Amino acid sequence: MEEPNGRVADVIRDARHSRGWGQLRLVSELRRAAAKRGKTLASDASVKRRIAS
């Protein structure tokens, strides 16, 4: 059985790499997008763990 989150992580990693973004830039962009939607994210350390490639 495939892990759905694995596929999402692959898509995120590929998009990050195609833009030339490091983890810090991605976290910053995710926070900006979340704020526009009135949402908050977990701590930087937690977000980084989730997007680590």
CB 53 within 8 A of CB 13: yes
| Structure confidence at residue 53 (pLDDT) | 57
| Structure confidence at residue 1 (pLDDT) | 39
pLDDT at residue 44 tops 70: yes
* Non-local CB neighbours of 30 within 8 Å, separated by 6+ positions: 41, 47
Which alpha helices (DSSP H) does 1-53 contain, by range? 4-19, 23-36, 44-51
pLDDT at residue 5 tops 90: no
pTM: 0.74
Q: How confident is the model at residue 8 (pLDDT cuts 50, 70, 90)?
A: confident
pLDDT in tens, 12-40: 889 999 999 999 999 999 999 999 999 99
Q: Report residue 29 as tokens.
A: 């962009």
